[in-house]
A and B are shown apart, each in its own frame.
Chain A
C-alpha cells in the first residue's frame, strides 16, 4: 500500500522484546477502557467523571479498597489457574467449575466436622488447613479430568472444561438448594454460614489468602523461569512434537498442568466463600463469581502468561469491576457493567494480538536505505 510517497507493508515478527510486549498489553487495556467508556457516553455520562468515580471508589476509598483487594485475590488465583495450562498450550476455561468444587469441598470439611449445626471440636488451624487442602484437591480433581482426557485421547479441553462448569454449577445447586445437605435452613437457596472457627483469619484487615497469592506468584515465576518442570511445560506449549522428541511426556504434562490449574482455581473458590469478611457462605449468586473468574483468562492472556504482570492486571481489573459496580448503582447505569467491561477488554485484547505477530514497515519510496520502523 502506498500513501503520500510512503510504502506501507506488514511483516511478520520473528522477535518481540519484552518491553514492547508490555507496551502492547498496556495499549490493549487502554483501548479496552476507551471502548468501555463508550457505554457511559451512550448513557449520557461523562467518561471522565465515571472513571474518576470508578478509580476513586476502587483504590482511594477504604471500604472500596477492601473489596478491591478481596476481588484481586480471587482474580489472581483464577489467573494462575488459567496461566499454568496456557503455558502448556492448553485452554483452561473451567475456572468456574473448579472454584465451585473448591468451595464445596471446603464447606464439606466443615460439614463433616459438624460445623453446620453446632460447634466443631477441631481447632481453627486444623479446620482451616483441612479446608484449604480440600479445596485444592477438589479443584485439582475436576481440572484433572480435562487434563487426563486431553493427554489420553486428545479430547478437546475447551469443550470439556466448559461442560464441567455446567455440571459443577448444578452440583452446587444440588448441595445448597432444594433441601441439599449444605442448605441454609433459614436462607433462600444458599449454604449454611461458616462457624467462627472455620473463617479465615485476617491480617491487617485482609484475608491471609493475600499472602498465598504473593507466595504463589514467586513459585510460579520460579517454575517457568528456572525449573526443569516449567521448561518442559513451556516446550510442550510451544511445540508439542519437539517436546515429545526431547523426552517430555505429553500425557503427564497435560494432566499436571490441569491438576495445578484446577487446584489454584479451587483456592479461588475457597477464598471468596470462606475467607472474604462478610460472606462466609456459598451465596445464592455463586454463578456470578464463576463468571468473574473469566477475568482470569483475560489477565493471563494480556500478561502473556507472566505471573508477575498478571498480578498488576488482576489488581487493575479487580478495581475496575468493583468500581464499575459502584458507579453502576450511583449513576443508574444498566445492570452488569462489569460484564460489559469484560467483553470490551477481551475484544480489545484480541485485536491487539495482531501487534504481537506483525510489525508495520513504513518506507519512504525510492530510497529503501532510509527504511524506518514504526510499530
Chain B
C-alpha cells in the first residue's frame, strides 16, 4: 500500500516537472504540444548517455540539454519564423517519436545501473518538484519577471509598448519549458521506469499537457492534478489491489486516458469556467508580429 502511494507520488512528480515547464511556456503565450516528443528525447538520450558513461549525472545533463535544444527549436520555429505553434509542436512530437524509436532501439532493455538513492523510500526529486511548484508560483505572481511573462502571454503588443522585449521573454520561457520537459523525461527513463522500450513514455507528455489546461495555469492546481493522475495511473496498473478480479487489465489501462478526457470536459464546461473564473492566456497560440 505504501509502495503504491510512493509510486503514485513519483509519477506525479514527473507530470509536475513537465507540466510546470509547459505552464510557464503557455503563460508567455507559446503553446507547445510537442511536450511528448521532448520528454521522449530526454528519456531516451538521457538513458543512453547514462548507460554508456555509467553516470547518472551525465544522463540527467544530457536530458536537460536536449530539452533546452528542442525548446529553442520550438521557439525558433514559432517565435522567429512565425510557424503555427501547433504545427511546430506536432513536428517536434513526431520528430521525437520517430527519432527516439530509431536511436533507442539498440538499447532496448534495463538501464543496468544501481538505483538512485531514495529518502525514506521516496525520491528526492519529489521534494524538488514541490519546491519548484512553490517557486514557479511565486515567480509568476509576485515578481516583475512573472508580470512580464504573464503580460507577454496576454497582450504582447502591450508588453512591447511598455518597453519589454517580447521575443526574448518568450524564448526564455520555451527554453525553460524544454529544460523541464527534458528533465522530466530523464527522470522517467533513469529513475521511474529505467527499462528502455519503444515509445515507453505511453503518452505521459500528452497527459501533462492536459494537466496544464486542467490547472488553469496555476502551479498548485497543476500539482494537485498531477497527484490525482499519479494515483490513477498506479491504480490502472494494479487494479487487483482494490478491485480484485474486476475487468481485464487492458480495460483498466484505459482508465487514466478516459479520465483525462473527462477532466478536460469538466474544465471546459461553462459551469466550471464561470465558477472558477478560469481564463486562458489571451495570446496563447498566436504568433506575435512586431509591426
Contact = CB atoms under 8 A, between A and B. Distances in A.
A and B touch in the complex (CB under 8 A): yes
Interface of A: 12, 39, 91, 93, 149, 153-156, 158-160, 162-167, 170-171, 173-174, 177-178, 180, 291, 294, 297-298, 301, 334-337, 339-344, 346-347, 349-351, 353-354, 357-358
Closest 10 CB pairs of A and B: A343-B98, A350-B91, A174-B250, A340-B102, A339-B101, A346-B94, A153-B268, A342-B98, A354-B81, A353-B83
Contacts of A297: 90, 94
Interface stretch (B61-69, B114-122, B205-213): B205-213
B131 interface: no
Given A294-B94, A297-B94, A353-B84, A162 B258 contact: no
Given A170-B251, A174-B248, A339-B101, A301 B87 contact: yes
A39 to B, nearest CB: 7
B202 to A, nearest CB: 7
B106 A334 contact: yes
24 contacts: A91-B86, A149-B264, A155-B265, A156-B213, A158-B209, A160-B261, A163-B203, A164-B257, A167-B257, A294-B97, A298-B94, A336-B98, A336-B101, A339-B102, A340-B98, A343-B95, A343-B96, A344-B98, A350-B88, A350-B92, A351-B81, A353-B87, A358-B81, A358-B82
Interface of B: 33, 77, 81-84, 86-88, 90-92, 94-99, 101-103, 105-106, 198-199, 202-203, 206-207, 209-210, 213, 248-251, 253-254, 257-258, 260-261, 264-265, 268-270, 289
A98 B210 CA distance: 21
Given A346-B94, A350-B87, 5 more contacts: A163-B206, A166-B253, A301-B87, A353-B84, A354-B83
Contacts of A180: 248
B205 to A, nearest CB: 9
A177 B254 CA distance: 15
A339 B97 contact: yes
Q: Would you call the interface of chain A mostly helix, strand, loop, or mixed? A: helix
Nearest to B236: A170
Given A178-B248, A350-B77, A357-B82, A12 B97 contact: no
Contacts of B103: 334, 340
Nearest to A175: B250
B248 A159 contact: no
> Which one of B33, B101, B251, B269 has the greatest number of beta carbons of chain A within 10 Å?
B101
Contacts of B253: 166, 170
Contacts of B99: 339-340, 343-344
